[in-house]
Amino acid sequence: MLKMFFYLQMEDEVQRGGGDHGAGSSRGAGILVEEAQFLHNAKSMGMTFWINLGGLAGEAEFDKVDTYLRQIINKELSVKEGGQMISQFKKERMVQKHLVSAAGLQNWDEFKAEFTPYWSSQEKIESLIGCLPSTQGGARRGGEAGLEDDEPTHETNVPMFPRWKIVKGSMNDMKDVPRLPFTGTIIDCNYALDKEKTPDAMTKEEVQPFLESFNAKTTAPAWTVAIFCGFVQQNDFLEVIDNYCSGRAERFFWHKQNVNMNPNKTVRYNDVECGVLGYHVKSDAQGESSKKPEWMFNFDFGEGERVSRASLLRGFPVVHPMFKRDGKVVNNHQKPQALLMELIQCHMLGDTPGKKDENGHPLNWILDACCGVGSTSMAAMRCGMNAIGFDHDQYMVSSAQQRLINFDAEPDQHAELKPKSKSEPTAKGKEAATAESEEEDLDEDEADENDE
């Protein structure tokens, strides 16, 4: 009955030349949505659009969509073209919402008054659309199931053949690391809990020499450094990186979803971890290369300090334990591939993302410092970049090499989050089951002897 009411009212409006749904109306778009769905089955323009707008839906938004839907109904636009235009409009409003929230303001008008026109320009908003988090499944994707062009994501699916190399080295000894165009480095250091339990934890005195060595090793005009660290280390690392890098250093946090809290070790088993990001443009860069690279989103390190909070990392499920080799497992503190890939894709792609040489090799490199089992190197290769890792422990070097040799067989960012099936017992489970079976056989033999 309600749909019929909308249809009859819309038909009457069309016959009267559009009715009163002009610039001051806030209900015309809603009626037009119903009409578009009724006549054209335009699911891409359903109520999903209004839900995703959140608190930004207002008169201007209704009027804009009203215009697009009228063009579709009047056959001036196809359903696909109109759906794409509305989808683009929705994404622009989502970017505005993130910027307003990051700046700690109430609305978009306050944001434009607070910051220079650069941050509110249409070009800047369109460049940030690719940074919006993508949602798998659900109403947001289902509402656009009819469109051929999916939403842009950070994923870089290119037919490349990334190269990799794992060498033995340390933060103070990088002589075996070749000089290459590194656009970023990720350090997953030993967290400092207390001096007795973590004597090998990374200190601020080690960060400065590493940054100097890395700057000498890379031929790229600009680069990014990311350090995962403990909360007690964060301020020290922030101070060092902020003093060395030409751009401001920023803290970031990520939420470890599905983590089991241990009350006896609440510091180590916290469900939130932190890190520090730093951006640097070389002082000897000349001409165009001295400008802030596009892949840094032209980050203004002065007035954009608050805006950078918009890139705080969201929650990522922890990695479930799985066997690697020699009975060793990847523990729950291993950084998820999705987290590492987001860091690389947002901050370390370089000036030429997706480009390759005549042999199909990517042009840019990622340095996996303190590589451990090579998770950062694997994430870099999945992003279509080359990777070089180093570790002072020869066993870790061998483990990382083994994983990268079997790269295609290793679980990806989705598979690593799924625990082993109960129907597939692990190696330890098989040994325990065999031992238990043998004990039961011995008990049965003893019982038979006693009966005799």
**Looking at the domain assignment, is residue 236 inside a domain?**
yes
Helix H or strand E segment including 237: helix 231-244
Question: Is the same domain home to 360 and 445?
Answer: no
Tell me, yes or no, whether 324 and 449 share the same domain: no
pLDDT of residue 113: 85
Q: Are residues 213 and 332 in the same domain?
A: yes
**Per-residue model confidence (pLDDT) at position 240:** 93
Residue 151: inside a domain, yes or no? no
Give the chain's domain count: 3
pLDDT digits (tens, 9 = 90+) for 395-420: 888 888 888 888 888 877 777 765 54
User: How many angstroms separate the CA atoms of 227 and 274, rounded?
Assistant: 9
* Residue whose structure tokens are 């030409």: 246
- Residue 195 in any domain: the answer is yes
Q: Which of 84-98, 100-114, 239-253 has the highest mean pLDDT?
A: 239-253
Mean pLDDT, the chain, rounded, equals 68
If you average pLDDT over residues 274-296, what whole number do you get?
A: 65
Among 107, 142, 177, the domain-final residue is 142
This prediction's pTM: 0.54
Q: Which residues pair with 391 in a beta bridge?
A: 168
Give residue-wise pLDDT tens across range 29-43: 455 555 555 555 544
CA proximity to 214, closest of 393, 410, 370, 31: 370
| Beta strand pairing call for 182-188 and 222-229 | parallel
Average pLDDT over residues 253-274: 62
Closest by CA to 281, choosing from 202, 222, 333, is: 222
Residues 268 and 413 in one domain: yes
Task: Check if the beta carbon of residue 190 is closer than 8 Å to that of residue 231.
Answer: no
Question: What is the mean pLDDT of the segment spanning 6-32?
Answer: 43
Residue 108 in this model has a pLDDT that exceeds 80: yes
Instruction: Identify the helix (H) or strand (E) that includes residue 252.
Output: strand 250-257
Asked if 275 and 172 sit in the same domain, the reply is yes
> What confidence score (pLDDT) does residue 42 get?
47
Is the Cβ–Cβ distance between 319 and 417 less than 8 Å?
yes
**332, 312, 337: which is closest to 259 by C-alpha?**
332
Up-side HSE of residue 32: CA atoms within 13 Å toward CB? Answer: 27
Asked if residue 412 belongs to a domain, the reply is yes
Whether residue 154 lies inside any domain: the answer is: no
Question: Do 21 and 113 fall within a single domain?
Answer: yes
Residue 452 belongs to domain spanning: 428-452
Alpha-carbon gap, residue 433 to 404, rounded angstroms: 32
Domain co-membership, 200 together with 267: yes
The answer on 297 and 202 residing in a single domain is yes
Measured between alpha carbons, how far is 97 from 115 in angstroms, rounded to an integer? Answer: 15
DSSP code at position 419: P
Residue 56 has pLDDT above 90, yes or no: no
**CATH number of 269's domain:** 3.40.50.150
The mean pLDDT value for 177-205 works out to: 82
Reported as a single tens digit per residue, the pLDDT across 297-326 is 444 444 444 344 434 555 666 665 554 545
Q: Same domain, yes or no, for 299 and 360?
A: yes
Q: Tell me, yes or no, whether 135 and 211 share the same domain.
A: no
Within a domain: residue 386? yes
Residue 380's pLDDT is 92
299 shares its domain with 394: yes
pLDDT band at residue 377 under the 50/70/90 scheme: very high
